[in-house]
């Protein structure tokens, strides 16, 4: 029963915090920040909020964390007005660089594909018959 309740609470917190960050906070360091995941403790007293810079590589992560820590009180008070819970959990923000890592890996793969195509352009075509089984 508690897992279901904390799961629902985590989903609501994720939705509301994402809306608060995108619509109410005017800090430019939080531009294009995405709430990736929320983990609520079983007793509901704390929540780990994982934030990721959507823009990927060139983003000031330290500035983003500082802006979130500075706005933590406002976010928590906004959550208390929006959620119908007895007490709003203490918020702990963590940076999740999964999206930035995925963008970096995609760029490396695209560079390798371009290098392979450039190298293959100068080679003569191979016979298709060499791949047939005997």
In a domain, 132, yes or no: no
Q: For 103-119, what is each residue's pLDDT tens digit?
A: 889 999 999 999 988 88
Domain range for 34 is 2-121
Cα–Cα distance, 111 to 126 (Å, whole number): 24
**CATH code (residue 82):** 3.30.300.20
* Interval 70-95: pLDDT, tens: 999 999 999 999 888 888 899 999 98
Say whether pLDDT at 28 is over 80: yes
Domain assignment present for 105 = yes
Q: How many residues does the chain have?
A: 134
- The CA–CA distances, whole Å, from 22 to 41, 48, 69, 86, 105 equal 25, 19, 16, 26, 27
**Residue 110 placed within a domain:** yes
How many separate domains does the chain show? Answer: 1
């Amino acid at each position: 029963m508690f897992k279901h309740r904390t799961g629902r609470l985590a989903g609501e917190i994720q939705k509301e915090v994402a809306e608060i960050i995108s619509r109410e906070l005017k800090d430019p360091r939080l531009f294009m920040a995405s709430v990736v995941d929320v983990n609520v403790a079983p007793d509901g007293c704390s929540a780990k909020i994982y934030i990721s810079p959507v823009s990927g590589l060139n983003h000031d992560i330290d500035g983003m964390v500082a802006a979130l820590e500075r706005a933590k009180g406002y976010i928590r008070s906004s959550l208390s007005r929006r959620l119908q819970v007895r007490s709003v959990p203490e918020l702990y923000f963590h940076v999740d660089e999964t999206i930035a890592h995925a963008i970096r890996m995609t760029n490396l793969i695209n560079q390798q594909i371009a290098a392979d195509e450039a190298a293959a352009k100068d080679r003569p075509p191979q016979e298709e018959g060499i791949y047939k089984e005997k």
